[in-house]
Amino acid sequence: MAVSCESDHLDRFALVCLIILLPKLSFSTRALRPITGFSVDLIQRDSPFSHTYNPTISNFDRLHDSFRRSFSRLGRYKSTLLSQKTLIQSRIIPSEGEYLMNVSIGTPQVELLGIADTGSDLIWTQCKPCMQCFKQIPTLFDPKKSSTYHEIPCDAKPCGELYQSTCGSEHDTCEYSYSYGDRSFTKGNLAAETLIIGSASLPKVLFGCGHENGGTFDESGSGLIGLGGGSLSLVSQLGDSIGGKFSYCLVPLSAESYVTSKISFGSAGVVSGSRAVSTPLAQNRDPETFYYLTLEAISVGKKRLVYESTNYPSPKAGVATNEGNIIIDSGTTLTFLPAGFYDDLVLALEEAIDAEKVSDPRGVLSLCFRESSSISIPTITAHFTGADVVLQPLNTFAKLEDDLFCFTMVSSNDLAIFGNLAQMNFLVGYDLQGGTVSFKPTDCSSQTI
C-alpha cells in the first residue's frame, strides 16, 4: 500500500497515522496484513463515560454549547477550503457534540482520548516534556518510557509532506507545527509508535508528539484521531487491511445516556441489509480530507424542495456541476444548508407545523416552536443520489427547554455540512474502495448492532 503524507490544518486535534518500516532508520511504506476487524467505543464528551462529565450542567446548556461549536467548526472548514483553492471496533466518547475515541499508544501502553473526526487527517497527542501544554485528564504520554517510540529524521519523506515542518535544532529530527482557525496550535516531533485500537495492535504508526499545544482545547482529551480521506488519516493508513471500510452508530444525545456509540472497521464496518441505502462519494474534490455527497432534494412530508447550492468549492475538471455539494461530518453537531434553500425549507416547516413560532432565547437557532400540546413534526427526508434518508424528529429538532423545540438545521453562506445530529440512530458506513456512504436506520443504543 503506497502511502504519502498530506497536511491537515483544519481541526483542533489529530493522531497522524502512517504505516512505515524502520530498518536502519530507512523509511518506506508497507501494507498491513488483512485484519479481521476491531471496534472501539465512541464516548460522548458530556456523557457519564467522559472524564469531564458534570451532572450539574443541564442538557439544554450542553446542547447550546455544542451548537455554538458547530459555527466555530464551520469557520475552520471555510478557512481550509479557501486556503486550498476484518472486525475492528472502538469506543467513541461525544465531547460536547464531539466524540472521543479511546485508544492506547506505546510500550507499555498509555491510554489516549482523541476526538474521532471525519473532517481531519493528522493524528497527534500531547507528549512529555511539555514546554506548553493544555490541561488534560488522561495520562500524558512520555516517549522516553516507551520501547517502541522512534523519532523521524528530517530527510525522511513523511517529514517533507507535512503541512509545515522544520529540522530540529539539537537533533536531526522532524518537527511539525500546525495552527488552526480558532488560534489553537500544536508543535512537536514526528515519530513512529505502536497504536492499539480495541483488540488491534498497529506497529510503527506515524503520529505527532506535541510538546507545545494551546488554544481552545479542554481537559477531556489529549489529541485527535483523523478519519478523513487524506493519506495521513487512520482509515487511509489501515487501507487494504480493512478493505477501506468503517462505520459508526451515534447514540442520540441525552441527559442520562449510559450507552456509548460505536465505531467499527473492516468486516464489522460493512453496512448492508434491506433497510440500508447507499449514495456515491463524490470524486476529485479538494481537499481529499472531506467526504462529499450529492444532495438532490429535501422533502417536508410530501413537499419536495429541489436542492441547489453554489456554496461549495468549484469541482475539478470533469466533475458534474452539482456533484459533491454537501460534506458529511461526524464532528459538526448542526446541519448547515445554503441560505436561499434554507429559507424555503423553513417556510415549508412553518406551513406543516401547527404550533406557536418563537425565537430561540439564546439566539443560536432560527426556527423554534413553543409546545402547548403535543407537536406533530412532519417527516423530513434527505434525498441523496440513490439514497433517500428518512430523518426522525430527533435528527431534525432539539428540545431546548421543557416546552421549546428548535430546528437543528441552520443557514450558511459558505458551505453545506450534514452534521451528526442528522446521523444519530443511523448506522453510517463508509466504503472508500467502493466509493459509497451507506445509511441504515438503527437503534444505536442497542448492544447488538
Render 310-371 in DSSP notation, one character per residue.
--SPPPPTTS-TTTT-EEE-SS--SEEEEHHHHHHHHHHHHHH--SEEE--TTSS-S-EEE-
What's the CATH code, domain 38-77+91-250?
2.40.70.10
Q: Of residues 41, 117, 121, 431, which has the active-site annotation?
A: 117
Chain segment 228-268, per-residue pLDDT in tens: 887 778 888 888 889 999 999 998 876 456 778 889 999 98
Question: Is the pLDDT reported for residue 425 higher than 90?
Answer: yes
Cell of 143: 516517549
Using the predicted structure, report yes or no on whether residue 34 has a pLDDT greater than 60: no
Task: Report the pLDDT value the prediction gives residue 94, as an integer from 0 to 100.
Answer: 55
The residues near 356 (Cβ < 8 Å, ≥ 6 apart) are: 369, 370, 372
Of residues 402 and 37, more confidence is placed in 402
Verify whether residue 117 is a known catalytic residue. Answer: yes
Mean pLDDT taken over the chain:
79
So what's the pLDDT on residue 45? 59
pLDDT value, residue 22: 31
What is the homologous superfamily of the domain 271-441 according to CATH? Acid Proteases (2.40.70.10)
- Distance between CA atoms of 226 and 116, rounded to whole angstroms? 6
Tell me the sheet residues that pair with 153. 173
pLDDT at 18 (0 to 100): 30
pLDDT for the residue numbered 353: 93
With a cut of 80, say whether residue 339 has pLDDT above it.
yes
Looking at residue 236, what is its pLDDT?
Answer: 84
All cell numbers assigned to 423? 446521523
Nearest to 159 by CA among 264, 20, 265: 20
What percentage of the chain carries pLDDT values higher than 70? 72
CB 96 within 8 A of CB 205: no
User: Does residue 377 surpass a pLDDT of 70?
Assistant: yes
> Given CA atoms 69, 197, 289, 272 in this order, what sign does their dihedral have?
negative
- Residue 320's contacts (CB-CB under 8 Å, 6 or more residues apart) are none
The three grid cell numbers given for residue 28, joined into one nine-digit string: 518506506
427 or 166, higher pLDDT:
427
SS3 of residue 71 by DSSP:
helix
Residues spanned by CATH 2.40.70.10 within the chain? 38-77+91-250, 271-441
Q: Which three cell numbers stand for residue 103?
A: 485508544
SS3 at position 59: helix
Tens of pLDDT, residue by residue over 42-80, are: 776 556 666 656 666 666 566 656 666 655 555 555 555
Q: Rounded to 5 degrees, what angle do the CA atoms 322, 324, 330 make?
A: 145
DSSP 240: G
* Per-residue pLDDT, 115: 79
pLDDT of residue 143: 97
More confident residue, 321 or 137: 137
Q: What's the whole-number mean pLDDT along residues 155-165?
A: 79
The answer to whether the peptide bond before residue 108 is cis (omega within 30 degrees of 0) is: yes
Give the 3-state DSSP-derived string for 368-437, with helices as H, strands as E and coil as C.
Answer: EEECCCCCCCCCEEEEECCEEEEECHHHHEEEEECCEEEECEEEECCCCEECCHHHCCEEEEEECCCCEE
| Annotated catalytic residue within 8, 11, 46, 329 | 329
Active site residue 142: no
The beta-strand segments (E) located in 133-222 are 150-151, 165-167, 174-179, 185-197, 200-214
pLDDT of 14 higher than 90:
no
Which has more pLDDT, 214 or 97?
Answer: 214
**Mean pLDDT along residues 90-100:** 64
pLDDT bucket at 388, cuts 50 / 70 / 90:
very high
Average pLDDT over every residue of 358-376: 83
Question: What pLDDT is stored for residue 86 in this prediction?
Answer: 44
Query: Which parts of 7-144 are beta strand (E)?
Result: 20-21, 28-29, 37-44, 87-92, 99-105, 110-117, 124-126
- Residue 207: CB partners within 8 Å, gap ≥ 6? 15, 16, 17, 105, 123, 124, 125, 190, 191, 192, 193, 195
Beta-bridge partner residues of 117? 226
Is the per-residue pLDDT at 97 higher than 80? no
State percent of the chain over pLDDT 90. Answer: 38
- pLDDT class of 335 with cuts at 50, 70, 90: very high
- Cα 358 to its chain centre, rounded Å, is 32
Q: What is the pLDDT of residues 276-318, one digit of tens each?
A: 999 999 987 777 889 999 999 999 999 999 998 655 554 454 4
Q: What is the pLDDT of residue 9?
A: 37
Q: What is the pLDDT of residue 257?
A: 60
Residue 447's pLDDT is: 59
